[in-house]
């Protein structure tokens, strides 16, 4: 698991090029299967929290705040490896995903495929969002 002290995490966070309104893109991948689970944005605070806790934190555009992935669902993302791209403006997080990453009940947010000009669901739901989230799923 990736877990740094605060000083080390701060040094890494300062290396990044926060191009997207103070954020970098995070691509999240299952460490064992290499399946892409989701994408999100991280600001410097989210990067530092991720590096010091070993759990994925993001900057929610919808909520306008820092959030720990799994804070509501308990479907945490445990950081196994982190890669930084050549421009220092994107991260690849390799994680151990507890249950599913998608708030709609799928392991991955990429559960649909464009096929014959239509979106087709190609992966099964693995949990019922209405049981995991107290509010109706988005």
pLDDT one-digit tens code per residue, 20-46: 899 999 999 999 999 999 999 999 999
Over range 85-111, report the average pLDDT: 98
Question: Closest Cα to residue 131, out of 86, 52, 72?
Answer: 72
Beta bridge partners of 95: 30, 79
pTM, 2 dp: 0.93
DSSP state of 77: E
| pLDDT interval class at 61 (50, 70, 90) | confident
Q: Is residue 114 part of a domain?
A: no
| Whether pLDDT at 136 is above 60 | no
Q: State the residue range of the domain holding 75.
A: 6-102
What CATH number did the domain enclosing 74 receive?
3.10.20.810
The separation between CA 63 and the C-alpha centre of its own chain, rounded to angstroms, equals 15
The residue ranking higher by pLDDT, 134 or 29, is: 29
Q: Is residue 52 part of a domain?
A: yes
Q: Is residue 130 part of a domain?
A: no
| pLDDT interval class at 121 (50, 70, 90) | very high
Rounded to whole angstroms, the Cα distance separating 99 from 138 reads 18
pLDDT one-digit tens code per residue, 41-59: 999 999 999 999 999 999 9
Over range 98-116, report the average pLDDT: 97
Structurally, the chain folds into a number of domains equal to: 1
Over range 95-106, report the average pLDDT: 98
């Amino acid at each position: 698991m990736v877990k740094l002290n605060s000083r080390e995490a701060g040094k890494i966070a300062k290396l990044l090029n926060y191009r997207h309104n103070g954020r970098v893109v995070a691509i999240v991948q299952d460490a064992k299967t290499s399946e892409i689970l989701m994408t999100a944005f991280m600001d410097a605070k989210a990067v530092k929290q991720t590096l010091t806790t070993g759990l994925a934190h993001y900057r929610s555009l919808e909520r306008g705040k820092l959030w720990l992935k799994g804070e509501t669902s308990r479907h945490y993302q445990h950081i196994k490896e982190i890669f930084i791209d050549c421009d220092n403006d994107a991260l690849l997080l390799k994680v151990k995903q507890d249950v599913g990453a998608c708030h709609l009940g799928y392991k991955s947010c990429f559960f649909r495929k464009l096929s014959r000009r239509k979106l087709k669901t190609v992966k099964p739901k693995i949990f019922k969002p209405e049981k995991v989230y107290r509010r109706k799923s988005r």
